């Protein structure tokens, strides 16, 4: 069996549906896209395909982020009985082309297409595939192969991100400095009308649990800790804190074993309110992605909640927040949209995602808009991703205006609150100040670990950001300066010395990066080829199948010699404060 994500490159405009505005980078695509060289740049693997490969017994190759040539080469390297292709709706053109290539190069293969692209109405008549899988894929593939679809889920070893880049610096991939991804469940029972994930996995009131209990989660997390050497975990669950009994059972196991784990979670406001701050800190919650839709919206998850006070309280306890706000809700107009965006920005979260209110095939919102005759017929599927323009007729805002307001939301957040990297440092330091002398050893150890980079590279990054923004955004530059001075006072001479050496390097690389971005430089993920249960002699052209790296990606700037070159090229005097 061959499982493949759609082919790249991704951050360009082409005939297969790639868009320069829609790169294969979650943060730079949807969160920090207006922050220039300050934007967090990283890639994430195709976790769903990794889960399927780990939970079937058939010999299986996983091809992640291939080029079209890579995909063609792999099709001819072995006699594949099944080729599985996964994509999202904007990937429709690529999925169609990949099906065409399978028919041409491996005509005896069964083609299975899954992922959110399967929600496109009439997809079976638009692409040449044998099966289109809507919903959870592990059980479907097990049934198709004649295996036990109810067997326990084995979790693959997933490093949450790779190819990290900030301030123009390519940071070496390190398992110790990143999180392991854990997928406890799929779907969200809250069922917001625009939510593709909720709709894809059953809709309102439904979700599929891979790990029902905190005991099960603990065992998986402990396994990942041993295999990957990690102490932090990205819990890929649409509303992790909603299941309080599971979370509290996990906490009990963490306490019993003395685990100082950090958790990065998704949650709704009403679920967060089920916990005290002590609960969240003890559980190791370090980062929460939370919906912050308009206070004038009708979503029950925000009912009777002062979300600004909650965001401030969480940050005071060292819990970083990624707020998510919808632009273009039904009650939005050109007259009130700036006020609504200003309200979102006033939360002062560490990150802020803005997405257009988008009727995506398969969602209740799409069905409603179709019934009301408000869907636009001439919108390319490649442009239905919430980061470009409306794909429907809004009552008060035009399609072109939707992009203007969306772009302004990102810019306004950046101008008001500063780079997300600065905000992360601010929240982390608040947490360290509050808890570095906590009586619980687990809590002390976690906050010491999270503050480790404040003592070194993050403080140097603060200096570089302070200098870069000194003339373009003096209020934010002043806030960064005040935080940096407080950090250096707390951590002493070593932290200041690191800033004197590394700060100028980051200042230079960030300036260089902004020039490169202005000239159209983009970044692509490397290609992964992974085989499981594989019989070596089945492969026809072993030498042609390798793990490939994209052209144009720089190697990490890690050695002191390179740093000295960067420092020597600076014109700015960096001595003193």
Per-residue pLDDT at 172: 81
Residue 443 predicted with pLDDT over 60: yes
Per-residue pLDDT at 303: 66
Residue 540 predicted with pLDDT over 90: no
Q: What average pLDDT is seen over the chain?
A: 91
Q: What is the pLDDT of residues 286-309, one digit of tens each?
A: 999 999 978 787 665 556 679 999
Using DSSP, state whether 441 is helix, strand or coil: helix
Give dist(CA 390, CA 356) in Å, integer.
7
In the DSSP assignment, the letter for residue 455 is G
Taking residues 255-273, report their average pLDDT.
97
Q: Residue 554: in which H helix or E strand, if any?
A: none
In the DSSP assignment, the letter for residue 8 is B
Q: What is the pTM of this model?
A: 0.91
Give dist(CA 559, CA 577) in Å, integer.
25
**Lookup: tokens for 351:** 């990150």
Give dist(CA 551, CA 27) in Å, integer.
22
Taking residues 112-126, report their average pLDDT.
97
Higher pLDDT, 463 or 560: 463
Per-residue pLDDT at 553: 36
Place of tokens 């980061």: 387
For residue 239, how many other CB atoms are within 10 A of its CB? Answer: 23
Taking residues 533-556, report their average pLDDT.
46
CB 61 within 8 A of CB 530: yes
**Could you tell me the end-to-end alpha-carbon distance of the chain, in angstroms, rounded to an integer?**
60
Give dist(CA 328, CA 374) in Å, integer.
14
In the DSSP assignment, the letter for residue 297 is S
Residue 565 predicted with pLDDT over 70: no
Give dist(CA 345, CA 343) in Å, integer.
6
Per-residue pLDDT at 175: 60
Per-residue pLDDT at 577: 61
Residue 545 predicted with pLDDT over 70: no
Taking residues 463-491, report their average pLDDT.
98
Surface-to-core class of residue 292, CB atoms within 10 Å of its CB (0-12 exposed, 13-18 middle, 19+ buried): buried
**Lookup: tokens for 540:** 């026809």
Per-residue pLDDT at 176: 62
Q: Lowest-confidence range among 74-83, 234-243, 394-403, 557-566?
A: 557-566
Taking residues 363-377, report their average pLDDT.
96
Give dist(CA 370, CA 376) in Å, integer.
9
Taking residues 151-172, report their average pLDDT.
94
Query: In terms of residues, how long is the chain?
Result: 577
Taking residues 450-471, report their average pLDDT.
96
Confidence of residue 569 (pLDDT cuts 50, 70, 90): very low
Residue 551 predicted with pLDDT over 70: no
- For the chain, the C-alpha Rg in angstroms (whole number) is 24
Residue 18 predicted with pLDDT over 70: yes
Per-residue pLDDT at 327: 97
Confidence of residue 178 (pLDDT cuts 50, 70, 90): confident
132 strand-pairing partners? 113
Per-residue pLDDT at 298: 66
Residue 557 predicted with pLDDT over 60: no
Per-residue pLDDT at 534: 87
In the DSSP assignment, the letter for residue 164 is E
Residues 6 or more apart whose CB falls under 8 angstroms from that of 211 comprise 153, 184, 185, 217, 220
CA of 545: how far to CAs of 77, 460, 550, in Å? 8, 41, 15
């Amino acid at each position: 069996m061959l499982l493949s994500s759609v082919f790249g490159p991704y951050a360009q405009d082409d005939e297969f549906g790639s868009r320069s505005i829609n790169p294969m980078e979650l943060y730079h695509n949807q969160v920090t896209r207006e922050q220039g060289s300050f934007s967090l740049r990283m890639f994430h693997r195709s976790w769903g395909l990794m889960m399927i490969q780990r939970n079937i017994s058939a010999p299986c190759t996983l091809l992640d982020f291939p080029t079209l040539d890579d995909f063609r080469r792999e099709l001819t390297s072995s006699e594949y009985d099944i080729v599985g292709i996964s994509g999202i709706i904007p990937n429709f053109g690529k999925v169609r082309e990949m099906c065409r290539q399978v028919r041409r190069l491996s005509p005896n293969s069964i083609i299975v297409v899954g992922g959110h692209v399967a929600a496109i109405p009439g997809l079976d008549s638009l692409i040449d595939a044998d099966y289109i899988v809507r919903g959870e894929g592990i059980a479907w593939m097990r049934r198709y192969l004649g295996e036990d679809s109810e067997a326990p889920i084995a979790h693959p070893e997933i490093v949450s991100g790779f190819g990290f880049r900030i301030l123009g610096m390519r940071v070496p991939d390190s398992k110790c400095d990143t999180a392991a991804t854990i997928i406890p469940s799929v779907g969200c029972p809250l069922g917001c009308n625009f939510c593709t994930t909720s709709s894809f996995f059953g809709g309102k009131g439904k979700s599929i649990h891979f790990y029902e209990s905190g005991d099960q989660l603990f065992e998986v997390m402990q396994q990942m800790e041993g295999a990957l050497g990690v102490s932090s975990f990205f819990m890929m669950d649409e509303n992790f804190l909603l299941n309080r009994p599971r979370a509290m059972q996990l906490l009990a196991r963490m306490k019993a074993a003395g685990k100082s784990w950090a958790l990065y979670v998704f949650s709704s406001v009403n679920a967060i309110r089920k916990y005290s701050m002590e609960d969240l800190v003890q559980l190791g919650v370090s980062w929460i992605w939370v919906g912050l839709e308009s206070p004038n919206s009708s979503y029950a998850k925000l009912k009777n909640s002062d979300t600004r006070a909650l965001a401030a309280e969480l940050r005071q306890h060292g819990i970083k927040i990624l707020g998510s706000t919808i632009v273009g809700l039904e009650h939005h107009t050109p007259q009130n949209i700036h006020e609504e965006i200003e309200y979102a920005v006033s939360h002062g979260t560490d990150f802020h995602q803005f997405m257009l209110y988008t009727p995506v095939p398969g969602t209740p919102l799409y069905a409603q808009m179709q019934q009301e005759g408000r869907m636009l017929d001439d919108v390319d599927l490649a442009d239905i991703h919430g980061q470009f323009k409306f794909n429907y007729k809004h009552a008060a805002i035009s399609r072109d205006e939707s992009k203007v307001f969306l772009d302004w939301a990102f810019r306004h957040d950046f101008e008001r609150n500063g780079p997300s990297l600065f905000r992360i440092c601010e929240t982390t330091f608040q947490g360290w100040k509050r808890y570095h002398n906590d009586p619980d050893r687990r809590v002390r150890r976690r906050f010491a670990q999270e503050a480790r980079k404040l003592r070194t590279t993050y403080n140097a990054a603060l200096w570089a950001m302070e200098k870069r923004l000194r003339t373009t955004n003096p209020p934010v530059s002043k806030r960064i300066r005040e935080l940096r001075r407080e950090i250096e006072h707390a951590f002493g001479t070593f932290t200041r010395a690191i800033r004197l050496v590394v700060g100028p390097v980051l200042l230079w690389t960030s300036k260089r990066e902004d020039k490169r971005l202005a000239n159209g430089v983009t970044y692509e993920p490397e290609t992964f080829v992974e085989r499981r249960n594989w019989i070596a002699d089945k492969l026809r052209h072993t030498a042609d199948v390798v793990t490939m790296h994209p052209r144009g990606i720089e190697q990490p700037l890690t050695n002191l010699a390179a740093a000295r070159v960067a420092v020597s090229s600076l014109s700015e005097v960096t001595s003193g404060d």
